[in-house]
Chains A and B, each alone.
Chain A
Amino acid sequence: TQLLEQSPQFLSIQEGENLTVYCNSSSVFSSLQWYRQEPGEGPVLLVTVVTGGEVKKLKRLTFQFGDARKDSSLHITAAQPGDTGLYLCAGTRAGSARQLTFGSGTQLTVLP
């Protein structure tokens, strides 16, 4: 059983559509991070959220941390082919600030 479950696992959409990826857990996290990974490369940090209810925007990407700090979402507006990649959420738990637990991943494909 994974500590962080992401949904959907796979998502294929047309350019211009909106989408939301979810990251859920029954555990409380002190912070939540989102990464994007492209084929043949390592994950690249997109954002870190630390406060329950926090919302951060990065251009067309909006990240939200749940009030109870057990879940997070990533919303992409007007998706573009360049958004294609594997999106990973990762959390740190209290007392283990250096240890990241990764989610199961969402493979996004944006078709032109």
Chain B
Amino acid sequence: DTAVSQTPKYLVTQMGNDKSIKCEQNLGHDTMYWYKQDSKKFLKIMFSYNNKELIINETVPNRFSPKSPDKAHLNLHINSLELGDSAVYFCASSQRGQGGQYFGPGTRLTVT
């Protein structure tokens, strides 16, 4: 009964490739998020999304795009990967009116 799951756990790929990371939550939450955690452990919001609104952090390159097939899933597509994209990416979810976000286990992306 994992609350928020992500696949894959590890992703190693070459520069220029396109890759996707999948996220699923079984908590019935109405909002999902993607975060990037850099080598200094700083967590930065990339996107927040519910069925009505997508909020994009203006610093995120347009090579990154979230895709939500339904309320329980929010996948992250990355085009033309660059070395600087190497990081740990976390998916999270929350419910309006309730405190706290629930995080997935993370996907460690390494671009070579």
| Cβ-defined contact, B99 with A88, below 8 A | no
Q: Determine, out of A11-19, A58-66, A102-110, the stretch whose residues face the partner at the interface.
A: A102-110
- The residues in A between 1 and 52 inclusive whose CB is less than 8 angstroms from any CB of B are 2, 31, 33, 35, 37, 40-45, 48, 50
- The yes or no answer to B101 lying at the interface (CB within 8 A) is yes
Number of interface residues of A (CB under 8 A): 25
| Cβ-defined contact, A86 with B41, below 8 A | yes
User: Min CB distance, B76 to chain A, in Å?
Assistant: 15
Number of interface residues of B (CB under 8 A): 24
| Cβ-defined contact, B48 with A43, below 8 A | no
- The residues in B between 56 and 112 inclusive whose CB is less than 8 angstroms from any CB of A are 90, 92, 94, 96, 99-106
Interface residues of A (CB under 8 A from B): 2, 31, 33, 35, 37, 40-45, 48, 50, 86, 88, 90, 97-102, 104-105, 107
